[in-house]
């Protein structure tokens, strides 16, 4: 009976690609409330992003153009499908078959042919977390990493009907560092160049 209950508690999201995803209630100075829409032009090589039983899709939310700089709020959504060898009866986490999300700020310098990517928030599923749980992100308090505590200021959010935890980057985790914004030159014929051309022509 216990095993049956545990299996039943593992949600399995439909193996589909929504045309849009709305988010709200994220921590301050991360991702503001908005709706992301499917962006086929941001897809990478299909050979590397998908295949049987796996989806990786790109979305674009709010956009801004200032001078020669285009800034896009983007979302990458990844999802695994159940299979005979990997399913809710397997040794997988409770959130294995719900979507995983990565949020970015993508900047395109249309005058200098460069682009940059910045990550402002980390997101992890909160499947099975009751009201007593204060967060799923944790960090060690000692160099030997034997004592772990819940990282402060993470927030419960709901995306596509599933519970998640969102944590601003950098966080209170001492290992979390603010990364310097780096601009990368694009080369003709690369995916980066095609992204820059599309963003500069359409936003």
Contacts of 142 (CB under 8 A, 6+ apart): none
Mean pLDDT check: name the lowest of 80-94, 100-114, 144-158. Answer: 80-94
Q: Judge contact between 43 and 57, C-beta under 8 A.
A: yes
Name the band, by pLDDT with cuts 50, 70 and 90, for residue 25: very high
Rounded to whole angstroms, how far apart are CA atoms 110 and 69?
A: 6
Q: Which residues of 149-175 are buried (b: 16+ CB within 10 A; e: fewer)?
A: eebeebbbbebbeebbbbbbbebebee
For the stretch 112-142, pLDDT in tens is 999 999 998 999 999 999 999 999 999 998 8
Q: Does position 4 have pLDDT exceeding 70, yes or no?
A: no
- Which of 186, 172, 199, 10 minimizes the C-alpha distance to 87? 10
How many residues are given for the chain? 203
Strand ranges, E, within 8-130: 20-23, 34-38, 54-66, 69-80, 100-109, 114-118, 121-125
- Tell me the percentage of the chain whose pLDDT exceeds 70: 93
User: What are the pLDDT digits (tens) for 47-82?
Assistant: 555 567 899 999 999 999 999 999 999 999 999 999
pLDDT of residue 173: 83
Predicted pLDDT at 6: 38
Question: Using one digit for the tens of pLDDT, what is the confidence trace for 150-193?
Answer: 999 999 999 999 999 999 998 878 788 777 889 999 999 999 99
Is the confidence at residue 94, as pLDDT, over 50? yes
Report the predicted TM-score, pTM, of the whole model to 2 decimal places. 0.89
The pair of structure tokens assigned to 163 is 């519970």
35 in the Ramachandran plot: left (φ > 0), alpha (ψ -120 to 50) or beta? beta
Supply the Cα-derived Rg of the chain in whole angstroms: 19
Q: Is the pLDDT of residue 3 over 80?
A: no
Q: What is the mean predicted confidence (pLDDT) over 18-42?
A: 96
Q: Quick check: 70 and 107 in contact, CB under 8 A?
A: yes
Whole-angstrom distance, CA of residue 149 vs CA of residue 153: 12
**pLDDT computed for residue 89 by the predictor:** 84
């Amino acid at each position: 009976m216990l095993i049956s209950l545990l299996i039943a508690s593992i949600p399995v999201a439909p193996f589909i690609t929504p045309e849009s995803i709305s988010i709200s209630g994220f921590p301050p100075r991360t991702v503001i409330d908005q709706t992301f829409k499917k962006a086929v032009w941001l897809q990478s090589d299909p050979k590397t992003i998908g295949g049987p039983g796996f989806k990786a899709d790109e979305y674009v939310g709010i956009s801004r153009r200032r001078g020669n700089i285009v800034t896009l709020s983007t979302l990458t959504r990844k999802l695994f499908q159940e299979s005979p060898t990997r399913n809710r009866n397997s040794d997988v986490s409770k959130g294995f078959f719900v979507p995983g999300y990565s949020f970015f700020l993508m900047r395109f310098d249309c005058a200098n042919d460069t682009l940059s990517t910045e990550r402002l928030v980390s997101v992890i599923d909160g499947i099975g977390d009751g009201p007593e749980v204060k967060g799923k992100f944790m960090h060690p308090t000692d160099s030997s990493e034997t004592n772990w505590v819940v990282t402060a200021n993470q927030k419960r959010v709901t995306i596509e009907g599933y519970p998640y935890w969102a944590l601003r980057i950098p966080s209170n985790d001492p290992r979390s560092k603010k990364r310097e914004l780096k601009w990368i030159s694009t080369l003709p014929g690369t995916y980066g160049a095609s992204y820059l051309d599309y963003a500069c022509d359409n936003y």
